[in-house]
Structure 1
Amino acid sequence: TGGYKAQIAIAVLMGQALGVPVYYKHERFSEIIAFPPMPIGLDFSLWLEKSGILTALDRQDLVQWQEVEEDWDERMEALVERLEMDGKIYLELSPTGQIFHETFKGRFQSEYDQVLPPAVPISQKKPPDLTSHSWENARTPILNWLQKITEDCAYVQSCRTHYWNKDLPTPVLFRLRGEQIEGIFSNGSWTVKFYVDTSSNTPGQRAACVADLNQRIEHWK
């Protein structure tokens, strides 16, 4: 580590996240010191709940503080850093946040089939339901996006829009809104928000759906 205390903390955190021992050699010590894994776990439920924000930050999307302030959890503070551009506050992943996100992203990819709800029968799946707005040229890409979600995710029954703004760019993500799963889709100029109806019956299943949907975003772009 070259003696840098901050690097030691990050090394120990990474060892804890991955469940492996960390070794440290100080320039004045005659022996190597081992930091064994501790019986303390990182919060997987927090990652599930906030996977939308973390995934957007991992994609290096510009996420404004104002956009996430309403749903903020103070446990996220160590996972992000704030920077100011053009008078606005944006978030980016901190080194701790990067370790946290990569650790649980890998864990989820290996265990997702154990936590997702059962598949919806094909006969019960429904086409996208768009509210009566003037969608202009956005109607086709929105319909295609919602149809992909319904077809690709076995646990999704349907998607239905509830918000439209033709002049609002926002990060693309999924999140929990009470007992609803909400998706946000934007092309960089307009934004649509929609609910995703699934076969989930418990808060844990809904959180797992949100995490899975966020992991699929890159494949749908």
Structure 2
Amino acid sequence: MSDTEEGKNTGKLLKLYYDNKNNPLHFEKVDTRVLTGLRDDDVKAFKQQGLKNLVREISNEVRKFSPEAIAINATGGYKAQISFAGMIGQALEIPVYYLFEKFSEVIELPPQPVALDLAFWLNNYVLFEQLESEQIIPKSKIQANLDNEYFNSLIDEEPESETTLVSLSAMGVLFNERSRLQFAKQETSILSLVPQDDTDSERKPISLRDDHGKDVLLKFSKKICRSPYVRRIINSLPFNPKQINSILNTTPSGTVEFVLTWTDAGLGICIQTTGRNLAETNTIALHLQKEFGE
């Protein structure tokens, strides 16, 4: 519901209605959530928070249940919200329903083709995940080339004193979520195009610094070396205790910086994979994160 008193009151009313056991449309569980920034008296909050939070909330439900278990009612709300809700449904393959004022029946909006460049997402995966987790980053700290016109609708740039702050736009959040969904569906076929290393895992070189946590890293290195997409462990990483995503960085030459985010010190290793370019390396990184992350 919107971040307004009217929105909160409407949410309470709907919860009472669907919680009522005498209601033929009674739901077993009714949950309401305020979408921070989704308000009509603050344009900046609406753009930078409201629509993005709408995407994130629906995406979280998709990850918990699946698109088939979800429906979007795009009837109520701000016009931009209604339009964007429809786009979210089409992008994440969720059915979208609408009740026109003069119609007596609810109709399902027909799906529209949504363009998706999965290769672009794979080549820029680390940037998208960094912006998703940190949300706002100084432009000077971003390594990717943002001059690509594809970024125009996917990121927002906000000048602040002597720097420029970069964040995902609402469309960028949606693009990232749809790409995750499509990658999960195509992971096996994409990985089949990536070369493998058939060296026995026990013979793959492991090089680590004599440092705090070496025993933990050695155990993890032996485990991850079982992957056919890992050639060797190059070295330990500096500690990254604040890192949220296991994938810290990747390179076109096939290296992946992998952080054990479940360790207090943020222990990590640099892995030489079989990736021959950035898209392949990021594909491997995503696979390793799923298979060996915690």
Query: Residues 63 and 160 from structure 1, CA distance in 2 versus in 1: closer, same or farther, beyond 3 angstroms?
Result: farther
Distance 1:112 1:99, change over 3 A: same
**Does the 8 Å contact 1:20/1:36 carry over to 2?**
no
The amino acid across from 1:154 in the alignment is P
Q: Is the 8 A contact 1:174 1:213 kept in 2?
A: no
Q: CA deviation at 1:160?
A: 0.9
SS in 1 for 2:206: coil
Structure 1 position 197 matched with structure 2 position 269: no
CA gap 1:68/1:185 in 2 versus in 1, 3 angstroms: farther
Q: Trace 1:133-148 onto structure 2 (pairs within 5 A).
A: 133=209, 135-148=210-223
May I ask how many residue pairs the two structures share in their alignment? 206
Do the aligned partners of residues 64 and 34 (structure 1) sit closer, same or farther apart at CA in structure 2, a change above 3 Å counting?
closer
Give ranges in structure 1 of 5+ residues lacking alignment: 83-88
Residue 36 of structure 2 is matched in structure 1 by none
Aligned to 1:121: 198
Distance 1:122 1:180, change over 3 A: closer
RMSD: 4.1
Alpha carbons 1:183, 1:194 under 8 Å: kept: yes
Q: Counterpart of 2:86?
A: 12
Residue of structure 1 equivalent to 2:52: none
More strand by share: 1
- Deviations along 1:82-136, one digit per CA (max 9) or x if unpaired, are 9xxxxxx999877655543443333323321211124321437503222xx4x43
The residue type paired with residue 129 of structure 1 is: S
**Aligned pair in 2 of structure 1 residues 213, 76: CA closer, same or farther (>3 Å)?**
farther
Segments of structure 2 that go 5 or more residues without pairing to the other structure are: 1-74, 158-163
Q: Tell me what 1:65 maps to.
A: 137
* Matched position secondary structure for 1:165: coil
Aligned residue number for residue 183 of structure 1: 257
Question: In structure 2, how many angstroms separate the alpha carbons of the residues matched to 1:147 and 1:92?
Answer: 37
Q: Percent identity?
A: 23
Instruction: Compute the displacement of 1:8 (Å).
Output: 1.9
Q: Does the C-alpha gap of structure 1 residues 107 and 40 become closer, same or farther in structure 2, counting only changes over 3 Å?
A: closer
